[in-house]
Chain A
Amino acid sequence: MASGVKPRVKVPKSAAAGETVTIKSLISHKMESGQRKDKEGNLIPRSIINRFTVDFNGQSVLDMTMEAAISTNPYVQFEAIVPEAGDFVFTWYDDDGSVYDTKKSVKIA
């Protein structure tokens, strides 16, 4: 795939040490389910993001397996603990082997 894939995440810029913050993530991706047919009646092959991981300074927050029933432009909202200043790393794994990632830094207020 790789065309028009754009990750977007919303993370607070700063937090108190040990605070739990809410993170919203969205990546634009068609998430072709493998169930649909084209005009000629041929099945359109599955092409989805099958895994989404979030780490903070190398420690896991969330590791999510996605299947065909996840909607187009997968959106995930969850909570994370910020023990110290550092970086959240968000990684999406595509069926075609592509890997998309983005990083967000958080300061301690």
Chain B
Amino acid sequence: VTVLPFRVNAAADDQIAAFTGGADMADAGITLTAPEIAENGNTVPIAVDAPGAVSIMVLATGNPTPGVATFNFGPLAGAQAASTRIRLAGTQDVVAIAKLADGSFAKASATVKVTIGGCGG
């Protein structure tokens, strides 16, 4: 599969634009926890936490398809936080964007070095 990096990033940018409607994103208000180095890209633990968020979208900017997950929190969410395990095709930036209750957005990103990629081929 030959996909140039800028195309991949464009796909991620498109998803971000679809989620935020092009609004500015603050750097504070969301925490993304991911390992610096992941030996196995098939299962990389990540956690997101954005107090007061309505929803949080997670993207893997270097994957063939950048979408990872979107968490929508209901009225009985004990915290606007969740953790899961994701696949990463290779070393890349993972991005999390929170939509806050007041309609603003916050963004966090983390670079994860991947030793063995998780998308097969």
**Chain A contacts to B: CB under 8 angstroms:** 20-22, 33, 35-37, 54-56, 59-72, 74-81, 83
A70 touching B81, Cβ below 8 Å: no
Interface string of B49-69 (1 = CB under 8 A from A): 000000000001001111111
A69 touching B72, Cβ below 8 Å: no
**Chain B contacts to A: CB under 8 angstroms:** 1, 42-44, 60, 63-79, 81-88, 118-121
- Complex: how many Å from CA A75 to CA B60? 17
Residue of A nearest to B60 (CB): A69
Name A76's contact: one of B44, B79, B82, B88 (CB within 8 Å): B82
- Complex: how many Å from CA A74 to CA B78? 21
B78 touching A80, Cβ below 8 Å: yes
Smallest distance from the beta carbon of B114 to chain A beta carbons, Å?
12
- Complex: how many Å from CA A79 to CA B83? 10
B42 touching A71, Cβ below 8 Å: yes
Residues of A within 8 A of B71 (CB): 62-64, 78
- Complex: how many Å from CA A21 to CA B76? 11
Residue of A nearest to B43 (CB): A71
Smallest distance from the beta carbon of A107 to chain B beta carbons, Å?
17
Name B69's contact: one of A61, A64, A79, A83 (CB within 8 Å): A64
A78 touching B81, Cβ below 8 Å: yes
Residues of A within 8 A of B43 (CB): 71-72
A36 touching B77, Cβ below 8 Å: no
Residue of B nearest to A34 (CB): B65
Smallest distance from the beta carbon of A67 to chain B beta carbons, Å?
4
Residues of A within 8 A of B66 (CB): 69
B79 touching A69, Cβ below 8 Å: no
B75 touching A79, Cβ below 8 Å: no
